């Protein structure tokens, strides 16, 4: 199986025959916003949390749920209310209808 962003593509002819699975996930938009507005780099934040940078990236992008300890530590570092910081938003990585087809330009 190959990872393409947040989708999984299989090359095995007996499983998915090259189809792409969509991923529904919950992201934390306020967490992304707060990290951006504080100017703290993701690698430094990961070091401060004593976790791998890839693990932090998965949390930020909605592929992993943070533990209670990581939530509290992130909130303290970013000086934010944990409830606000970890507000969830549902996103879907499905392709839009008509995606991949040429679009007609309206004049």
Q: Which CATH number characterizes residue 39's domain?
A: 1.10.260.40
pLDDT in tens, 34-45: 999 999 999 999
Q: Average pLDDT of the chain? A: 78
Q: Is residue 3 part of a domain?
A: no
Name 90's Cβ contacts closer than 8 Å, sequence gap at least 6.
Answer: 24, 25, 26
State the residue range of the domain holding 32.
Answer: 26-92
Q: How many residues does the chain have?
A: 107
Q: Whole-angstrom Cα distance, residue 9 to residue 5?
A: 10
Q: Is residue 30 part of a domain?
A: yes
pLDDT tier at 7, thresholds 50, 70, 90: very low
Number of structural domains (the chain) is 1
Q: Is residue 63 part of a domain?
A: yes
Between 65 and 14, name the one with better pLDDT. Answer: 65
Please, are residues 72 and 82 in contact by the beta-carbon 8 Å criterion?
yes
pTM: 0.65
The token pair at 23 is 């991923």
Cβ-in-10-Å burial (0-12, 13-18, 19+) of 20 comes to middle
pLDDT in tens, 45-68: 999 999 999 999 999 998 999 999
Which residues partner with 4 through β-bridges? Answer: 7
Report whether pLDDT(27) > 60: yes
Q: What is the pLDDT of residue 17?
A: 55
What average pLDDT does range 82-95 have in this prediction? 85
Q: What is the pLDDT of residue 18?
A: 58
């Amino acid at each position: 199986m190959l990872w393409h962003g947040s989708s999984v593509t299989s090359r095995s002819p007996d499983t998915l025959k090259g189809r792409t699975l969509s991923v529904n996930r919950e992201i934390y938009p306020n967490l992304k916003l707060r990290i951006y507005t504080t100017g703290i780099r993701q690698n430094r934040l990961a070091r401060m949390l004593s976790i791998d940078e890839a693990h932090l990236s998965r949390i930020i992008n909605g592929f992993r749920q943070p533990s209670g300890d990581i939530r509290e530590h992130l909130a303290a570092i970013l000086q934010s209310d944990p409830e606000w910081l970890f507000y969830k938003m549902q996103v879907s990585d499905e392709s839009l209808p008509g995606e991949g087809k040429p679009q007609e330009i309206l004049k």
